[in-house]
A and B are shown apart, each in its own frame.
Chain A
């Protein structure tokens, strides 16, 4: 079989291998979005490999750092209880990959509000992501809200952000007004972070 010319087709057979390959990919100057997305999708979620990072909070979704990618990227696991959702947010000029490890997550895409915008934000599209699917977004594509709409099942997702960022803007859907927020980790490398 012919391999694609410009990008490799990787298959990550474990979370550890996924991280190893990511380090190799990001060590290069140029990184292909398709390559990373395919790699993330190729990893078949195995809870035994990530359970140690999946720390849930009763009140809201959590961000659990798995690997800090030599400063080139952050890899983290997000845990969403039933009904937990995020605000509408941007990605501070970074690439964002989101792979479902367990359950389902609904992603709603929004247009950027007008500069002088003072009306309801425009929904572009929405979809429900299934286990092992991997979505991609960056600021030029738009903004999104991610939610676990299930009332019976928790959800777990694996996120890669490159370059890493610790603040972003959240948007009020009714008015388009934005507000900068700092993002924190609920745990890092499997250890609960005490704030």
Chain B
């Protein structure tokens, strides 16, 4: 960037330096107090120092709304941009990212996040802490699983997951109330029931822990070694609402299929406390549970109908 940029154009709001071969964006950016849109796609950015230090502290940190760095050579999300608290739209499509830093959650204003066409293998649950995220693109990556926490993205309207390595989805995905678009094609989603044969029976420690929790056996920190007190605090509730049980490390992974009028079957992953515990939550049309279910099944069918519209629309 030419030195003196901010002196010539102090009121600059939109800067497009796409396709100019730039290898770094320098400190000249920091002195542009009105800049809200920066487009720098198809350049040679990605090495250390591609973005100026102190990006978050500059006036830019509050004014920048749109940042497009697609088609560059970033191997990681540049930490410098995580200070852009006002950023609403970020594109790092077509780079060389291998992961997403948990600190992505610092981009509190983010609504639009495009990460398609990278080498991302997993998604940090912290991504779910972006309260305004409405458009999330993760297509054309190497993602093997979606963390269930992603269902906490209440504002999500569009989720692009096509061309990844997903074999199933977390059951919680049905909770995305505002989801209108969901792309899943080009994933090796299982289509037939796969019985998980690698259920490891719970250890004695786990069985004891379960008993303490489900029977509400009282204990004080002075009663137990510190590591066991901590262990007991990590109990997870069995997602089956009919089962009051808890589990620690040992759970059954079970894929249940939600059937949408026989036209689209989604494999959803359930974690249950034991093979005998059967969750009614997935059975939009499965008949494995009795007819006496009430709220949980209604909720499930509403969620299923909503997802059906998203998938078939």
Which A residues are within 8 Å of any B CB, using their own CB?
58-60, 82-83, 85, 149-152, 170, 172-175, 177-179, 181
Contact = CB atoms under 8 A, between A and B. Distances in A.
Interface string B124-168: 000000000001010110000000000000000110101000000
B71 A151 contact: yes
Contacts of B24: none
Given A151-B71, A151-B114, A175-B263, 16 more contacts: A59-B158, A60-B158, A83-B114, A83-B117, A85-B162, A85-B183, A149-B140, A150-B94, A151-B93, A151-B116, A151-B117, A152-B70, A152-B71, A175-B191, A177-B262, A179-B263
A59 B157 contact: yes
A85 B181 CA distance: 11
Nearest to A179: B312
20 contacts: A58-B135, A59-B157, A59-B181, A82-B70, A82-B114, A83-B116, A83-B139, A83-B140, A83-B160, A151-B116, A152-B41, A152-B71, A152-B93, A170-B312, A172-B263, A174-B189, A174-B191, A177-B263, A181-B312, A181-B313
B132 to A, nearest CB: 13
Contacts of B41: 152
Contacts of A170: 312
Contacts of B98: none
B264 interface: yes
B192 to A, nearest CB: 11
Interface of B: 41-42, 70-71, 91, 93-94, 112, 114, 116-117, 135, 137, 139-140, 157-158, 160, 162, 180-181, 183, 185, 189, 191, 262-265, 312-313
A172 B308 CA distance: 13
Given A151-B117, A152-B93, A172 B264 contact: yes
B94 A152 contact: yes
Contacts of A85: 162, 183
A152 B42 contact: yes
Contacts of B157: 59
A173 B187 CA distance: 11
Nearest to B115: A151
A70 to B, nearest CB: 31
A173 B185 contact: yes
Contacts of A172: 263-264
Contacts of B162: 85
A83 B137 CA distance: 8
A154 B312 CA distance: 24
Nearest to B138: A83
Shortest beta-carbon contacts, A-B, top 4: A151-B93, A151-B94, A151-B117, A152-B71
Contacts of A150: 94
Nearest to A120: B191
A173 B189 CA distance: 12
